[in-house]
């Protein structure tokens, strides 16, 4: 057996550089680069290997470990999980900064490989700088925190362990059913230790994206179930996008006249103006989708986790004849809500079911209901897009102007607050790569690094915009500087309403007075945060980084700023001052939250009573 003597760091880089993914007839280089912030925990071990010019992995310098990891998540998401950028950090605080991003990746089923430095395996020196010590378990380090948010976790304490660790990492990262965050903790001393690795370990590896079909007889069961129903509805989840099943689902829905409701991850897989597409479903859904869902006698849930937003906390479906059928590559997701579970690739399954349902000459019994309710919703969208701005810009008008301005190939990125709700209801995507929302984790601070990662994925020929609230921008925007460093232009449209108004709305809707959500100075008389609003000039902040920046307080100024931003060759921030509470509402949906059972506030007690009434209408499992 021929061997190559290399350090763990060198072997890791060489291995990663030779990983490929086979998707249908395409072979794709899976690992494109490495994000890193070098502390003492990686700079002389793994860092030495990355510095060598003997590989094809591009190194990107991060500013915040969470930010660069979010950029890596966005890069993989924008590439339909077919390419990744690895992320490395030092030990301790640098590593722990990535835990949130790991949770984001795992919640969204996005591949993310994290390589945090770790304490010395030899325990000399002891303790090392930034090491967490636990007196009850000396094997614990800060990196054990990743276990709760990782799909695979390993600590490489001997050089030869790297081989099984990396093979298992690739097993998970390339598996559409199990993918998410993978953490390989790398003790500082082990990174520099050498081993005689077999040459075959570094041979080109092609991981195959297998389209699992429905098992024998399962397509007939699904077709029979649909054929026995009058008002079925499809939920289009992220699995449709990652399976590249949008065309198959659109054709399926059109042929059998079955309406579609979308999740955040599935939105864009089917054009917004497709006759059967009713848009977002549930708490962030459209009135059209929610009304059809309420009376649906069957739900065909394709590639979705069935989370509480898209099921309206399990209250969206009220028909006594309801049956739920799921098609999902992940059996954990397929079994949710007491569904009839079918474990299969979305595109392959739809292709199997279609001819069987066609033979039954099936058509759903909606008549003109779908066209009528879809047209009513389109009228509502146009109203929201053109709200008068005599008192200032409405948030929905900002979205409408941006929607009209952006070109079909441009990408919109967002993540948290009220903006995802508005976008799922109002945005009109025409291709699956136009709409990029992180809402599996609803992670504030994803927006700016996410836009940077998406821009690395789509290249210089397409514009990337991120729509972010002032709260999300303040949470994390450090990778704005990384976008300038790399010459990867992004346009940040910052909606400033001086607070966390999405949560302020929730608070107020349950009878609780405004508290702790608006950005206000402290009132010295009451010792509460109820003083004047805190004004911030975000355009000046961005200009200090080196961005082009603009301010907009009305529609004319926003239009001028958008036109100037498109002409710019570097990253841009547009500071848009909006009217408070100018976002969309719930459109006959319900969301279960933890309302106090006992309170001195009459409004809170009434909100609790209303919630108890709703609980009698939900599926319990």
pLDDT for 487 equals: 98
pLDDT for 497 equals: 94
194-225 confidence digits (pLDDT tens): 999 999 999 999 999 999 999 999 999 999 99
**CATH code linked to domain 3-209:** 3.40.50.970
Q: Is the pLDDT of residue 364 over 90?
A: yes
Share of the chain above pLDDT 70, in %: 100
Both tokens of residue 455?
A: 């821009």
Give dist(CA 96, CA 119) in Å, integer. 13
Q: Do residues 576 and 549 touch, judged by C-beta distance below 8 A?
A: no
Q: What is the mean pLDDT of residues 429-448?
A: 95
pLDDT for 392 equals: 87
Confidence of residue 619 (pLDDT cuts 50, 70, 90): confident
Q: Is the pLDDT of residue 153 over 90?
A: yes
In terms of DSSP H, where are the helices of 427-510? 447-458, 470-475, 479-486, 501-509
Q: Is this structure's pTM higher than 0.85?
A: yes
Name the residue with higher pLDDT: 581 or 8: 8
pLDDT for 236 equals: 98
101-122 confidence digits (pLDDT tens): 999 999 999 999 999 999 999 9
DSSP 295-346: H-SEEEEES----TTTTTTTTS---TT-EEEEEES-HHHHTGGG-EEEES-H
Q: What is the mean pLDDT of residues 301-326?
A: 96
Give dist(CA 542, CA 573) in Å, integer. 6
Q: What is the mean pLDDT of residues 448-475?
A: 97
pLDDT for 388 equals: 80
pLDDT for 438 equals: 97
Q: Which CATH superfamily, name and number, covers 218-373?
A: TPP-binding domain (3.40.50.1220)
Confidence of residue 164 (pLDDT cuts 50, 70, 90): very high
Q: Residue 242, CB half-sphere, CA atoms under 13 Å: how many?
A: 29
Both tokens of residue 606?
A: 């009434």
Q: Is the pLDDT of residue 40 over 90?
A: yes
Confidence of residue 617 (pLDDT cuts 50, 70, 90): confident
Q: What is the mean pLDDT of residues 456-462?
A: 97
493-522 confidence digits (pLDDT tens): 999 999 999 999 999 899 999 899 999 999
Q: What is the mean pLDDT of residues 3-17?
A: 98
Q: Do residues 131 and 199 touch, judged by C-beta distance below 8 A?
A: no
pLDDT for 73 equals: 98
pLDDT for 467 equals: 98
Q: Do residues 330 and 180 touch, judged by C-beta distance below 8 A?
A: no
The rounded mean pLDDT for the chain is 96
Q: In what order do the strands lie in the sheet with 277-280?
A: 277-280, 260-262, 232-236, 298-302, 323-328, 340-343
The domains spanning 3-209 and 386-498+535-577 adopt the same CATH topology: yes
Residue-range domain boundaries for the chain: 3-209, 218-373, 386-498+535-577
Closest CA to 182 of 105, 117, 85: 105
Partner residues linked to 549 by β-bridges: 573
Architecture of domain 386-498+535-577: 3-Layer(aba) Sandwich (3.40)
532-561 confidence digits (pLDDT tens): 999 999 999 999 999 999 999 999 999 999
Partner residues linked to 186 by β-bridges: 117
pLDDT for 441 equals: 97
pLDDT for 579 equals: 93
Q: Is the pLDDT of residue 391 over 90?
A: no
234-288 confidence digits (pLDDT tens): 999 999 999 999 999 999 999 999 999 999 999 999 999 999 999 999 999 999 9
Q: Do residues 86 and 115 touch, judged by C-beta distance below 8 A?
A: yes
Give dist(CA 253, CA 350) in Å, integer. 10
Residues contacting 25, CB < 8 A, separation 6+ = none
3-class secondary structure per residue, 50-109: HHCCCCCCEEEECCCHHHHHHHHHHHHHHCCCCCEEEEEECCCHHHHCCHHHHHHHHHHC
Confidence of residue 126 (pLDDT cuts 50, 70, 90): confident
């Amino acid at each position: 057996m021929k061997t190559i003597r290399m350090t763990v760091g060198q072997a890791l880089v060489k291995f990663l550089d030779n990983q490929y993914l086979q998707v249908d007839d395409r072979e794709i280089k899976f690992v494109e680069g490495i994000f890193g912030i070098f502390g003492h925990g990686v700079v002389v071990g793994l860092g030495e290997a990355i510095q060598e010019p003997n590989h094809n992995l591009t190194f990107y310098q991060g500013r915040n470990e969470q930010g660069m990891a979010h950029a890596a998540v966005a890069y993989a998401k924008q590439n339909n999980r077919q390419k990744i950028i690895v992320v490395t950090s030092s030990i301790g605080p640098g590593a722990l900064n990535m835990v949130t991003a790991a949770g984001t990746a795992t919640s969204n089923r996005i591949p993310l490989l994290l390589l945090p430095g770790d304490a010395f395996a030899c325990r000399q020196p002891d303790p090392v700088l930034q090491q967490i010590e636990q007196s009850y378990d000396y094997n614990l380090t800060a990196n054990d925190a990743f276990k709760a948010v990782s799909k695979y976790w390993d600590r490489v304490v001997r050089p030869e362990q790297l081989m099984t660790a990396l093979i298992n990492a690739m097993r998970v990262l390339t598996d559409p059913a199990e993918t998410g965050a993978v953490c390989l903790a790398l003790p500082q001393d082990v990174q520099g230790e050498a081993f005689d690795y077999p040459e075959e370990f570094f041979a080109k590896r092609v991981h195959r994206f297998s389209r699992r079909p429905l098992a024998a007889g399962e397509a007939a069961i699904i077709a029979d179930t649909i054929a026995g129903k009058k008002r079925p509805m499809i939920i289009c989840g992220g699995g449709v996008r990652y399976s590249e099943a949008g065309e198959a689902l659109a054709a399926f829905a059109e042929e059998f006249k079955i309406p579609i409701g979308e999740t955040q991850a599935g939105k864009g897989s089917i054009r917004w103006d497709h006759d059967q597409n009713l848009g977002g479903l549930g708490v962030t859904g459209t009135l059209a989708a929610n009304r059809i869902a309420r009376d649906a006698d069957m739900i065909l849930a394709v590639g979705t986790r069935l989370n509480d937003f898209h099921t309206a906390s399990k209250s969206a479906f009220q028909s006594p004849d309801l049956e739920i059928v799921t098609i999902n590559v992940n059996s954990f997701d397929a079994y949710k809500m007491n569904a009839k579970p079918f474990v299969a690739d979305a595109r392959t399954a739809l292709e199997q079911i279609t001819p069987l349902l066609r033979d039954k000459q099936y058509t759903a019994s909606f008549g003109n209901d779908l066209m009528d309710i879809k047209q009513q919703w389109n009228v509502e969208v146009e109203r929201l897009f053109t709200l008068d701005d005599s008192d200032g810009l409405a948030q929905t008008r900002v979205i409408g102007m941006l929607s009209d301005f952006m070109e079909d190939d441009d990408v919109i990125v967002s993540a948290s607050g009220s903006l995802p709700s508005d976008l799922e209801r109002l945005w009109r995507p025409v291709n699956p790569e136009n709409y990029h929302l992180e809402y599996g984790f609803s992670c504030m601070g994803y927006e700016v690094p996410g836009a940077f990662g998406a821009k690395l994925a789509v290249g210089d020929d397409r514009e990337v915009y991120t729509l972010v609230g002032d709260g999300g921008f303040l949470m994390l925007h450090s990778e704005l500087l990384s976008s300038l460093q790399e010459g990867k232009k992004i346009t940040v449209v910052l909606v400033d309403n001086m607070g966390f108004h999405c949560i302020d709305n929730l608070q107020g809707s349950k009878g609780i007075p405004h508290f702790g959500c608006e950005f206000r100075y402290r009132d010295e008389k009451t010792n509460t945060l109820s003083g004047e609003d805190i004004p911030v000039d975000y355009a000046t902040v961005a200009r200090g980084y080196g961005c082009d920046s603009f301010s907009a307080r009305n529609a004319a100024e926003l239009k001028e700023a958008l036109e100037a931003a498109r002409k710019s060759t570097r990253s841009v921030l547009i500071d848009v001052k909006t009217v408070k509470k100018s976002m969309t509402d719930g459109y006959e949906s319900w969301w279960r939250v933890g309302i106090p059972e006992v309170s001195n506030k009459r409004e809170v007690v009434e909100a609790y009573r209303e919630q108890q009434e709703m609980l009698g209408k939900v599926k319990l499992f």
